[in-house]
Amino acid sequence: METVETTFTLTYSDDQYERAREYVNDMKNHPRRVFWIGKKGKSDEELIISHIAHRILSGFYNNYDPSIARTQIKEMRNQRSA
């Protein structure tokens, strides 16, 4: 089995940050949701940035509007390991 580690450089707006912050705050009211799997011990800032990245990359790969994602994904680097 091979593994590829990919690093993205993304940009986001103040509005995207605020919506992600609100989403994370709302998720705190629902501790049993799938959102929390694998996120134990992460700071609010890490959760917010992760949510922004997830939204940008999901939109890009699911072709909702690739022209928008194209402006937000500034760089992508891959490294393959066995």
Q: What is the mean pLDDT of the chain?
A: 86
Q: What is the pTM of this model?
A: 0.76
Instruction: Sketch the domain layout of the chain as residue ranges.
Output: 3-81
- Residue 51: pLDDT band by 50, 70, 90 thresholds? very high
CA distance 20 to 69: 16
- Please compute the mean of the pLDDT values over residues 10-16 and round it to a whole number: 90
CA distance 77 to 54: 17
Contacts 24+ apart (CB under 8 A), 36-44: none
pLDDT at 56 (0 to 100): 83
Q: Is 5 helix (H, G, I), strand (E, B) or coil?
A: strand
More confident residue, 78 or 46: 46
β-bridge partners, 79: 5
pLDDT > 90 in the chain, percent: 45
